[in-house]
Amino acid sequence: MQISVLDQSPISEGSTGADALRNTLDLAQLADQLGYARYWVAEHHGTPMLACASPEVMIAAIGSATRRMRIGSGGVMLPHYSPLKVAETFSILSALFPDRIDLGIGRAPGTDHHTSFALQRDRRQAAPDDFPQQLGELLGYLENNLPAGHPFARLAALPGRPHVPDLWLLGSSAQSSVWAADIGLPYCFADFINPEGAALAAMYRDRFCASETLKEPRMMVAAWAICAETDEEAQRIASSARMTRALLNEGKLIAVPPIDKALAFLAERGPKADTAVRPRRAIIGAPATVKKGIEEVAALYGADEVMIVTICYEHAARRRSYELIAE
């Protein structure tokens, strides 16, 4: 089983987005040294909590600062963009960092509806829900198999060829698992968003159709985890993320709070603090506890790779968490 990193570039209270982006570069270099398989950066817009709004920019910076592991997007929110622009951008990244680039594609907006509208080039009306068509066009560019009569066929001569990224479909719903299976793409399920995805992973495997680039289903699961020297310390560190989650459930976006502030908030809220429409699976504890939790979630999904996402207030604690998980 391989272990990888999903970095959402969290912004801690009292720090800046620039600080968070520098922390991402620092953590990526550490992950490369520790032997993680890949390092993905997320795309979020208009939030005081997460800094990375442009994963392709961060991928270029991370590629220059690391040497071994694969790097990519977790993911690019395709509804915001032209498939050609995404294909060209990741073609260039693939040329600069051969055999290291992953293009993880998502359908979710990565933000609220108001910000999604602000991201649109044409604001005369809401953007159409045409993700399958977008994905098909993107595949046509990357695989250079648009029909000869297609109006954009000549554009598949991407600037970075012969290098191309590995394409992954990301998701947390039944629809994404169907698309990944029917098209024959590797699939990464966001258990940290929807912990009820084991049946959807099984459905992906059962209906998988081989493609030119993938003959057998390939399943990865992204899980939320914090590791510390003891179970108690890990739970204490996790309080910051618990507070942000509780307020997010109420539609309130905040920077990641200090531990003392988060503990006071959780104590005041009591058991209601963690109430949510969809509870989140959290792998929190000492190394033995977290190792067991990671292995269990991998078995649950039939995944041969687990991607770990960690949010906490102190960057040093996040570094240490990934060190302990690697060990």
Alpha-carbon distances, residue 3 vs 281, 283, 303, 304, 305 (angstroms)? 18, 14, 11, 9, 6
- Residue at 235 is within a domain: no
Structural domains counted in the chain: 1
Alpha-carbon distances, residue 116 vs 48, 109, 113 (angstroms)? 16, 6, 5
**How many C-beta atoms surround the C-beta of residue 90 within 10 A?**
29
Sign of CA dihedral 85, 142, 166, 296: positive
3-state secondary structure string across the chain = CEEEEEECCECECCCCHHHHHHHHHHHHHHHHHHCCCEEEECCCCCCCCECCCCHHHHHHHHHHHCCCCEEEEEEEEHHHCCHHHHHHHHHHHHHHCCCCEEEEEECCCCCCHHHHHHHCCCCCCCCCCCHHHHHHHHHHHHHCCCCCCCCCHHHHCCCCCCCCCEEEEEECCHHHHHHHHHHCCCEEEECCCCCCCHHHHHHHHHCCCCCCCCCCCCEEEEEEEEECCCHHHHHHHHHHHHHHHHHHCCCCCCCECCHHHHHHHHHHHHHHHHCCCCCCCCEEECHHHHHHHHHHHHHHHCCCEEEEECCCCCHHHHHHHHHHHHC
The whole-number pLDDT of residue 277 equals: 47
Condensed to tens digits (0 to 9), the pLDDT of residues 226-280 reads 999 999 999 999 999 999 999 998 889 999 999 999 999 999 988 777 665 456 8
Question: pTM for the complete prediction?
Answer: 0.94
CA 269 to chain centre: 30
The whole-number pLDDT of residue 276 equals: 54
Note down pLDDT in tens along the chain; length 327 residues. Answer: 999 999 999 999 999 999 999 999 999 999 999 999 999 999 999 999 999 999 999 999 999 999 999 999 999 999 999 999 999 999 999 999 999 999 999 998 777 777 888 888 777 888 888 899 999 999 999 999 998 888 998 999 999 999 999 999 999 999 999 999 999 999 999 999 999 999 999 999 999 999 989 999 999 999 999 999 999 999 999 999 999 999 998 889 999 999 999 999 999 988 777 665 456 899 999 999 999 999 999 999 999 999 999 999 999 999 999 999 999
Closest CA to 243 of 225, 224, 257: 257
For residue 210, what are its two tokens? 């081989």
- Look up the domain containing 39 and give its range: 2-227+281-326
- Residue at 247 is within a domain: no
- Residue at 142 is within a domain: yes
For residue 101, what are its two tokens? 């680039």
The whole-number pLDDT of residue 89 equals: 98
- Residue at 178 is within a domain: yes
CATH of the domain at 104: 3.20.20.30
CA 319 to chain centre: 18
Condensed to tens digits (0 to 9), the pLDDT of residues 117-156 reads 888 877 788 888 889 999 999 999 999 999 888 899 899 9
- Residue at 75 is within a domain: yes
CA-to-CA distance for 327 and 322, rounded, in angstroms?
9
- Residue at 97 is within a domain: yes
- Residue at 59 is within a domain: yes
Whether the CB-CB separation of 52 and 44 falls below 8 Å is answered with yes
First to last CA, the chain: 14
Sign of CA dihedral 203, 209, 212, 216: positive
CA 37 to chain centre: 14
- Residue at 199 is within a domain: yes
